[in-house]
Amino acid sequence: MLEKLPDALWATQYVGDRFPGSPLVADRPGLADGANCQLFAYEVLRLFELDPPDLRSSELWADAEFTERVAVACPLDLVLFNATQDAWGAHVGVCVGDDQILHLCAEVGHPVVWSWQEFAERKRYRTVVGIKRVVRRVDECPQP
């Protein structure tokens, strides 16, 4: 799966002010000007024809229209991490395979793949808030 990602994606810089709903994103969408973890994760999913909602972490966790909570992560599922079980301000990554989460964080500054254990070793990411799966694809029509 990682081999299918375009080279330009790996050059994305962490920019905390570029989050879903930010005026900076509305004026210049995409990853060329950087992204926070959520914006980055959603753009990765869009490369695989998924249509995630542009939500902040706590909104994503509460959402039941476009995503569903799942117990076990599969490739292209969103994983939320935080210091506590609180979804507000949670970090979002994309499961890309066995024990691999692709994400963008301020600590590293560019996209990186960590294991579940690497998240657990960091106080700010030690708790798995949960896993969300996008249920609508780009090519599906919304139901009335």
Task: Looking at the chain, list the stretches that DSSP marks H as alpha helix, in order from N- to C-terminal side.
Answer: 23-27, 37-47, 57-62, 116-120
| Whole-prediction pTM | 0.92
Domains and CATH numbers, the chain: 8-134 (3.90.1720.10)
Query: In this predicted model, what pLDDT tens digit does every residue of 13-24 receive, in sequence order?
Result: 999 999 998 988
Query: In this predicted model, what pLDDT tens digit does every residue of 41-86 receive, in sequence order?
Result: 999 999 999 999 999 999 999 999 999 999 999 999 999 999 999 9
| Residue 106 confidence (pLDDT) | 95
Query: In this predicted model, what pLDDT tens digit does every residue of 83-136 receive, in sequence order?
Result: 999 999 999 999 999 899 999 999 999 999 999 999 999 999 999 999 999 996
